[in-house]
Chain A
Amino acid sequence: DIQMTQSPSPLSASVGDRVTISCRTSQSISPYLNWYQQKPGKAPKLLIYAASHLQSGVPSRFSGSGSGTDFTLTISSLQPEDFATYYCQQSYSSPRTFGQGTKVEIK
C-alpha cells in the first residue's frame, strides 16, 4: 500500500494567514493526488483533484501543487469557514489511501 504522510499536524493559524499543508507519498504518484476538506460531523469534500485542478465550486483561495512524492495544498488567505481537517488521497493504486489528516486550528 502507498503510505501518505501529512505535515504539520495540527496547524495553528489566524484568519488571513497563508497556510501550506504538505503531503509526502511513499512512491511517486504524479498526478494521482487529491485533497479533501472535512468538518466535524460531515463527510469529506473534494477540493483539488489531479494535484492541481480546482474542483468546481471551490473558492480560488485553495490551490494544489507538487509532483513525484511531494505535494502541497495552499490556502492563500484563511477564512473562518476554512478551519477544518484536510486530507490528501492517492488514486495511483489500490487500495486507495489517505493521509492521516491535518487539522487547521484557530491560533
Chain B
Amino acid sequence: QVQLQESGPGLVKPSQTLSLICTVAGGSITSGDYYWTWFRQPPGRGLEWIGYIYDNETTSYNPSLKSRVIMSVDTSKNQFSLKLSSVTAADTAVYYCTREVAGVVPGATVNWFDPWGQGTLVIVSS
C-alpha cells in the first residue's frame, strides 16, 4: 500500500523559498500513470490545488501560483518536491502531497486523490 510523507522546514522567512519533499513508500514513483500533486490548506480554511508533476517532467501549476512554483521528481530517492519562491505570510499553510489516480467507471474515466501525506505546517515569518 502506497504511503506518502512530507518533510521540510516548518519556518520560512518572508521573501525566501519554501522547499518541501514528499517521499513515496510502498511503490515506485515511476510505476503507474499517476499525477504527483501538492495541495495547501491555510489555517481554518479550505484546500487549494498547487499543481502536479507527471511522468517525471510534465508539470501543471495553479495559475495563481505559477510564477513562483517549481516541482520536480528524484526517481533515485522515490521522492517529488515543491519549491515556492518569494513567500509571504499568505503562504502560511499546511502543505499536503497526494497522488491523483485515474479509474474507469461506466461511461467515463475519472480521477481522484488518494492517498495523502499527513501534511506539514509551514509558517512564513521573520
Contact = CB atoms under 8 A, between A and B. Distances in A.
A binds B: yes
Interface residues of B, number: 22
Given A31-B105, A31-B107, A43 B49 contact: no
Which secondary structure characterizes the binding site on chain A? Answer: loop
Contacts of A89: 47, 112-113
Most chain A beta carbons < 10 A, residue from B46, B105, B107, B117: B46
B58 to A, nearest CB: 12
B111 interface: yes
A63 B121 CA distance: 32
Contacts of A36: 113
A50 B111 CA distance: 8
Contact of A44 (B62, B103, B111, B113): B113
B108 A31 contact: yes
Contacts of A97: 49
Nearest to B62: A95
B47 A87 contact: yes
Contact of A32 (B47, B111, B119): B111
Nearest to B118: A43
Q: By DSSP majority rule, is chain B's interface helix, strand, loop, or mixed?
A: strand
A45 interface: yes
B34 interface: no
A91 B96 contact: no
A94 B118 CA distance: 24
B123 to A, nearest CB: 16
Interface of A: 31-32, 34, 36, 42-46, 49-50, 53, 55, 87, 89, 91, 94-101
22 contacts: A31-B107, A31-B110, A34-B112, A42-B118, A43-B98, A43-B116, A43-B118, A46-B113, A46-B114, A49-B110, A50-B108, A50-B110, A55-B114, A87-B47, A91-B112, A94-B60, A95-B63, A96-B49, A96-B100, A96-B113, A97-B49, A101-B46
Interface of B: 46-47, 49, 60, 62-63, 96, 98, 100, 103, 105, 107-108, 110-114, 116-119
